[in-house]
């Protein structure tokens, strides 16, 4: 297929990395993907092998212990994995974007020395505790509080849908919390939101039982409870009161990576459909010879191509240091739509086989819905795009 050929505009090094991860995915991840999904269990042995490949350190400089790659290079790896297994793709994306990146960008020298080496090597994972029952897209509605008591923060509250928060190798969760109630320049009250590192195993920090999810079933996701959790004041991540602002910058990058993940899912459905349509014989001919099937797959190919162009553009802008928030929103919107549409079309092409969990397209059908919700709903992406046009 054309999608396996070197992508136009990528360097030899970028294409080599993409090919390496694609081969690793086909040989190592694909054989265990169904069982991991069935068991609702993150395969930590595979995570370790991903770490050995250097995937968790891709977009970080070598002096920090990373691979010195670009953000685009990192997203190429996410896309390649997502073709076959979205759970492991989101594990990598969240480990880098929500776990290691905020620490690298806003952490103190002491915090980085303590936690960053294991995160960039894949020996440890970290989560970011933002979402709450009443605070998701509206993070300003955060109810979790952190009160400074001497030289300790005392944290109380709950979080939900937190990725990589309860594995055997989770080292900490960075928690957004209201640290004060202040008045803005217009005289309106608002919450001062800060981010605080809570190491795994801290007394009062409870990782609740994992969710029974529709999709991404091998990804580690839990609700969290904080009951008078005490951590050192030095565990403040970044400047006090800048927790939400800092997270928004991380979220913009995350939308590019999720767009790459969605593109990979759309491509996985395309690849499976092409292969199946050439093999499945009905009324004496392969179904690929029927124009309706051929045209359906052609539309699937167009969606993959368009999605890839969108996230490549956003990633190049990010790497160039120019504004990219609007392009990230466009990429996330276009790619998540493509993943859902391709999953639906692929399942229809496969018929009854596509309704089986053993089928890659069946798992993509379940997995892809969350792509329209996570990292900001698609309605939020539309809001961002509209605002960039001076609308709304």
Give the 3-state secondary structure of 260-314: HHHHHHHHHHHHHHHHHHHHCEECCEEHHHCHHHHHHHHHHHHHHHHHHHHHHHH
pTM for the complete prediction? Answer: 0.94
What is the model's pLDDT at position 2? 44
CATH architecture assigned to 126-241: Beta Barrel (2.40)
Q: Is the dihedral of CA 330, 306, 357, 22 positive or negative?
A: negative
Per-residue pLDDT of the chain (392 residues; tens, 9 = 90+): 445 556 678 999 999 999 999 999 999 999 999 999 999 999 999 999 999 999 999 999 999 999 999 999 999 999 999 999 999 999 999 999 999 999 999 999 999 999 999 999 999 999 999 999 887 666 668 899 999 999 999 999 999 999 999 999 999 999 999 999 877 777 777 889 999 999 999 999 999 999 999 999 999 999 999 999 999 999 999 999 988 888 877 888 999 999 999 999 999 999 999 999 999 999 999 999 999 999 999 999 999 999 999 999 999 999 999 999 999 999 999 999 999 999 999 999 999 999 999 999 999 999 999 999 998 899 999 999 999 999 98
- In the chain, % helix, strand, coil (3-state, to 5) comes to 55, 20, 25
What is the model's pLDDT at position 247? 80
Residue 390, judged by CB atoms within 10 A of its CB (0-12, 13-18, 19+), counts as exposed
391: its two tokens: 């609308």
**Measured distance CA(314)–CA(293) in Å, rounded:** 32
Q: C-alpha dihedral over 365, 370, 373, 379, to 10 degrees?
A: -10
Q: Does domain 245-388 have CATH number 3.30.2130.10?
A: no
CATH architecture assigned to 2-125: Orthogonal Bundle (1.10)
What is the model's pLDDT at position 206? 98
**Measured distance CA(267)–CA(305) in Å, rounded:** 9
What residues act catalytically? Answer: 375
What is the model's pLDDT at position 276? 97
Q: List the domain boundaries for the chain.
A: 2-125, 126-241, 245-388
What are residue 225's DSSP bridge partners?
Answer: 158, 206
Q: Is the dihedral of CA 109, 115, 121, 126 positive or negative?
A: negative
Instruction: Provide the CA 134 distance to its chain's centre, in angstroms.
Output: 22
376: its two tokens: 């900001």
What is the model's pLDDT at position 136? 66
368: its two tokens: 């892809």
**Measured distance CA(46)–CA(27) in Å, rounded:** 11
Note whether 2-125 and 126-241 share their fold: no
């Amino acid at each position: 297929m054309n999608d396996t050929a070197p992508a136009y505009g990528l360097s030899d090094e970028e294409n080599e990395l993409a090919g390496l991860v694609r081969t690793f995915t086909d040989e190592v991840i694909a054989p265990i993907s169904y069982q991991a999904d069935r068991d609702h269990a993150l395969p930590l042995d595979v995570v370790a092998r991903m770490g050995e490949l250097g995937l968790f350190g891709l977009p970080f400089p070598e002096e920090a212990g990373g691979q010195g790659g670009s953000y685009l290079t990192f997203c190429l790896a996410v896309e390649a994995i997502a073709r076959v297994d979205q759970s492991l793709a989101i594990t990598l994306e969240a480990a880098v974007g929500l776990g290691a990146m905020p620490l690298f960008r806003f952490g103190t020298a002491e915090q980085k020395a303590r936690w960053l080496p294991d995160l960039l090597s894949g020996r440890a994972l970290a989560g970011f505790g933002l979402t709450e029952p009443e605070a998701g897209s509206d993070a300003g509605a955060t109810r979790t509080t952190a009160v400074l008591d001497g030289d300790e923060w005392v944290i109380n509250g709950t979080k939900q849908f937190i990725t990589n928060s309860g594995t055997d190798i989770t080292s900490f969760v960075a928690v957004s919390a209201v640290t004060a109630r202040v008045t803005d320049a217009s005289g309106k009250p608002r919450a001062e939101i800060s981010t605080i590192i809570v190491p795994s195993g801290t007394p009062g920090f409870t990782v609740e039982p994992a969710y029974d999810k529709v999709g991404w079933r091998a990804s580690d996701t839990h609700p969290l409870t904080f009951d008078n959790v005490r951590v050192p004041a030095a565990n403040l991540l970044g400047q006090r009161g800048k927790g939400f602002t800092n997270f928004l910058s991380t979220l913009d990058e995350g939308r590019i990576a999720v767009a790459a993940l969605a593109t990979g899912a759309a491509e996985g459905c395309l690849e499976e459909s092409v292969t199946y349509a050439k093999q499945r014989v009905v009324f004496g001919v392969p179904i690929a010879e029927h124009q309706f099937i051929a045209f359906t797959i052609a539309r699937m190919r167009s969606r993959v191509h368009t999605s890839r162009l969108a996230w490549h553009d956003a990633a190049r802008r990010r790497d160039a240091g120019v504004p990219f928030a609007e392009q990230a929103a466009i990429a996330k919107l276009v790619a998540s739509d493509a993943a859902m549409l391709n999953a639906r079309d692929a399942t229809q092409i496969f018929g009854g086989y596509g309704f089986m969990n053993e089928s890659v397209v069946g798992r993509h059908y379940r997995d892809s819905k969350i792509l329209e919700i996570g990292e900001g709903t698609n309605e939020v992406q539309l809001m961002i795009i509209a605002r960039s046009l001076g609308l709304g």
